[in-house]
Amino acid sequence: MLRKLVFSSMALSASLLNAQSAQNWQDPTPTPQWTDDGKVMMSHAASGRSVEREPLSFAFNSLEFPGANFTLTFGINNQEQVVGSYFLPPGRQHALLIDQGEFKPLAPSSVLGNHLSQAFDINERGDVVGAYVDDLGVRHGFLLSNDVASNIDFPGATRSDAFGINNSGVIVGDFFDAAGTVHGFVLQDGTLRELDFPGAVDTQALSINNAGDIVGAWDTDPDTRGHGFLLTGEGRFISIDDPDAAPQSTSAIGINDRGQIVGSYEDGFGVTHGFVLAGGSFTSVNFPGADLTSCRAINNQGEIVGNYFIGDIVAAGFLAKPAQH
């Protein structure tokens, strides 16, 4: 079953920006203002402060849908429910739920079951957001709530993705405009608003926690990954770059209620690593034996899901739990 959400054109509620941030960043950036066209405008953006890398260790488990060519995992909630996607030949890529160790196709009787689909995040109520491709090849964001799938399409966009959802039902994502430029968006109380990092060419809003803190990626060159960012619940933009990253190669992808951030970066040799930023310190996260690792989400227990790649053959998800000392 698929229904179309109806979006209003009212201003975004200030409650998204007035919650206290879970992370203690000291930053002089002024509070942004929402303009009449829904964009976030600021006079300048601060750079992330220099931090040291703190040693942490994790216990890793590979997550692979039985019989699938590949499995990708993107989101995790505090009940350790994981969402992602899998590919079974000769079919398409389908959205996936992993619950109590059981791998389940997500809403197989809905539009997600017979189209290419990916699930990106899940909240404590079990609401899931993601994206699917329709019969005409157009990509739509979706919200799956109580087994009902709803389209999320930014007005005038050629493509939309819904990447993150918190327990209040606030959704973040991105969309492509007619010129191919990528913008972030926030959907709250039926109102869609564009979100752009100040001075950026492209912006992606990738995750939101229950304090209203948003993380994502921005760039000034569409040919690079660019930088990560944090938009705090108080409304301050902070750019994030892993200190071991090559220039313009960091993405901030997930954030939990403790203000811990995960993402990925490329080193000087072009190798992708995951990272976690916690307590002002960066820690690299690498699946054992993998060539590439990307961290996608972190729950309040510090459990991380992401993906690892070995050559051109293996692509699988993982669950990393903080090791007990």
Report the CATH number that the domain containing residue 312 is assigned in CATH: 2.120.10.30
HSE (CB half, 13 Å, CA atoms) of 78? 12
How big is the CA angle at 251 (ends 250 and 253), to the nearest 5 degrees?
A: 155
What is the pTM (predicted TM-score) of this model?
Answer: 0.84
Q: Please count the CA atoms within 13 angstroms of the CA of 325 that sit on its side-chain side.
A: 5
Q: Are 155 and 185 in contact (CB under 8 A)?
A: no
> 288 is in which domain, residue-wise?
2-322
Rounded to an integer, what is the distance from CA 220 to the centroid of its chain? 20
Q: What confidence score (pLDDT) does residue 28 get?
A: 28
The angle at the Cα of 321, spanning 93 to 306, to the nearest 5 degrees, equals 25
- 136-189 pLDDT, tens digit per residue, is 999 999 999 999 999 999 999 999 999 999 999 999 999 999 999 999 999 999
| Distance of alpha carbon 290 from alpha carbon 88, whole angstroms | 22
pLDDT per residue as tens digits for the range 8-59: 322 222 222 222 222 322 232 333 333 333 333 322 233 333 344 445 689 9
pLDDT exceeds 90 at position 134: yes
Question: Residue 119 pairs with which residues in a beta bridge?
Answer: 130
Which H or E element spans position 4? strand 2-4
pLDDT, tens digit, for every residue of 186-241? Answer: 999 999 999 999 999 999 999 999 999 999 999 998 877 799 999 999 999 999 99
As given in the structure block, the two tokens for residue 283 are: 């820690």
Q: Bigger pLDDT: 3 or 236? A: 236
Mean pLDDT of the chain: 85
CA atoms within a 13 Å half-sphere pointing along the CA-CB vector of 17: 16
Task: List Cα–Cα distances, 225 to 85, 154, 185, 301, in angstroms.
Answer: 23, 23, 19, 28
Amino acid at position 297, single letter: A
- Residue range 72-128, pLDDT digits in tens: 999 999 999 999 999 988 778 999 999 999 999 999 999 999 899 999 999 999 999
* pLDDT at residue 35, as a whole number: 36
Q: What is the mean pLDDT of residues 277-284?
A: 94
Give the total number of structural domains in the chain: 1
Question: For residue range 286-299, what is the model confidence (pLDDT) as tens digits?
Answer: 999 999 999 999 99
Length of the chain in terms of residues written: 325
Query: Which 3 state secondary structure label does DSSP give 14?
Result: helix
How confident is the model at residue 49, as a pLDDT?
A: 36
Residue 209 to residue 302: CA distance in whole angstroms:
14
**267-280: string of b/e by CB count within 10 Å (b at 16+)?**
eeeeebbbbbbbee
pLDDT, residue 32, reads 35
So what's the pLDDT on residue 319? 98
Q: What residues form DSSP beta bridges with 75?
A: 83
